[in-house]
Structure 1
């Protein structure tokens, strides 16, 4: 998934070259966030691989696992939202900008 997000950022960066509406720093920040996304993906892999070792009769242990799942999901959502915001910014103005260029 991280490679697909990187591909989206590559597309947005190329489109932005002709309209220059998104700051380069904003795009660079999202590229930097990809490493955090990769770490998050590894965290989820570990959690999923360790599920069978969780004592399902230990409410505290299950709750801890579920909170970790929640943290990972909401952080994935944040990463996707950040890239979506860049996409929306370009989407709103791209057609008009290239017509007027």
Structure 2
């Protein structure tokens, strides 16, 4: 998924280079966030791999796992939301900008 997110950022970067709506800093920040996204993916892999070893009768351990899963899911949502915001900024003006150039 990281490569796909990086591909989306690459597309947005190329389109933005024609219209300059999104700042370079905003795009750079999202590229930097890709490392955090990779780490998050790794955290999820570890959680999924360790699930079978968790005692399902230990409410504390299950709750810890569920809280960690919640943290991972909401952080993924945040990453996608940030990229979606960039996409929306470009989407709102791209066609008009290139048609009026």
How many residue pairs match? The answer is: 101
The 2-side partners of 1:5 and 1:61 are apart by: 32
Deviation readout 1:52-97 (Å, 9 max, x if unpaired): 1101011000000000000000000000000000000000000000
Indicate the residue corresponding to 1:28 in structure 2. 28
Following TM superposition, the consecutive aligned residue runs of length 4 or more in structure 1 with deviations greater than 4 angstroms are: none
TM-score normalised to structure 2 length? 0.99
Per the normalisation by structure 1, the TM-score is 0.99
- In structure 1, the gaps of 5 or more residues are none
Q: Please show how residues 1-101 of structure 1 align to structure 2 within 5 Å.
A: 1-101=1-101
Shift of 1:100: 1.0
